[in-house]
Amino acid sequence: MPRIVSLLLNVGHGLDHLFLLIFATAVGAIAHDFQVERWEDMMPFTVGAFLMFGLGSIPSGRLGDQWGRRRMMLVFYYGMGVAAFLVALTQTPLQMAVALTLLGAVSSIYHPVGIPMLVQGSRTPGLTIGINGLAGNMGIAVAALITGMLVQWSGWRMAFVVPGVASMICGWLFSRHAPMESAPPARKKASGVHLPRMLALRTLVVMIATAISSSLLFNFTTNGNAQLLAQRLDGLVHEPVMLGLLLAMIYAIASFVQVIIGRLIDTVPIKPLFFCVLALQGVVFYFASGTSGWVWYFSAIIYMVAVFAAIPFNDAMVVRYIDDSMRSRVSGTRIAISFGFSSLAVYLLGPVVKQAGFTTLMLSMSLIAAIGACFVFGLPGEEQMRSARQDA
């Protein structure tokens, strides 16, 4: 694959996460513009975006395998740009909800299509996924920084327009440089990745369960960190640009852990590594819940490191255990189920914080991480996997 295409696929991951986090970062300004008294009351209007981000992954994955990944990525780049422009034109919370839902539907294309396209034929899929994860999380960091700057200097609408233009440009470059597919992945010869039925089902259950817990924590943190940062640093930092910069630094620092995790996935067993990451999440969220000021800020860096470190595992398991001819469909199903559940995090974020506060929310996240760690025990070990492959 040409390097520019790999670069555009990684940039696409960054754009995917950037678009979904613009609203969370600018929600205070949007609520003020729409004359909504509290930002918490605006959060339920974005649940459609995250719900469609999950549910849309099933048809997106199916189309990626059977219609072609290159075509679907073009729909992604251009569709994200159009949807972002529509969000910028909204005048009421209801219009915002509809436009964000469309944005979520288009954004559902990337994970089940872009990542399988990127890793097909890769000799080090873990590292490839880790670098791709870094790109995605840098999109979150850029969302925090650029959105804060654009909101302060040009208004929240430009925070959607500028990335929309960038997505359109990426689509044009991708159309020029991405090679045409000889055939859709579903029509290509299988690569020989076949697991026994029960072992494959067991792995899929663990994959989905841990994806749900990881997605819940991801959505709670990335959608709530902007307001949590403003609360825990109240009296220390006030300017939107500075708050955006501090939030971007958290995401940027934490993002690099995915490259390390990706390299480890290629060299050490997944099961103990994954368990350690999820266990760390539970511990860090528990201790961070009672902190404030700069102590909270440094603990936030640690818990976001743990949250981001969990992301590569599910994609790595799909690559390791699922044949390329059906990876988009399996990824789409896994994402649909996990994000279908985790979209509740976006819906509940405002009401939970309004009623119980951020401390209770963080304690709940500690419990969710602990439950996810327990599910990892059901993942087949390396010896069992090798034995199953030989028997197959």
Distance CA 364, CA 282 (A): 9
Distance CA 380, CA 320 (A): 13
Nearest to 227 by CA among 377, 354, 95: 354
| Domains contained in the chain, number | 1
Q: Would you state the pLDDT for residue 124?
A: 83
CA 208 from chain centre, in angstroms, equals: 15
Distance CA 299, CA 71 (A): 42
Q: Would you state the pLDDT for residue 151?
A: 85
Which amino acid type is present at position 181?
E
Handedness of CA 326, 328, 329, 335 (dihedral sign): positive
With a cut of 50, which residues of the chain have pLDDT below it?
A: none
Q: Would you state the pLDDT for residue 186?
A: 66
Average per-residue pLDDT for the chain: 85
Encoding tokens for residue 76? 């992604």
Are the C-beta atoms of residues 317 and 203 closer than 8 Å to each other? Answer: yes
Distance CA 223, CA 227 (A): 8
Distance CA 302, CA 307 (A): 9
Domain of 211 in residue numbering reads as 3-391
Q: Would you state the pLDDT for residue 160?
A: 94
Q: Would you state the pLDDT for residue 37?
A: 82
Q: Would you state the pLDDT for residue 386?
A: 62
User: Which residues are CB-contacts of 225 (< 8 A; sequence separation ≥ 6)?
Assistant: 247, 250, 300, 304
Are the C-beta atoms of residues 244 and 149 closer than 8 Å to each other? Answer: yes
Q: Would you state the pLDDT for residue 120?
A: 81
CATH code (residue 290): 1.20.1250.20
- Left if phi > 0, otherwise alpha if psi is -120 to 50, otherwise beta: which for 178? beta
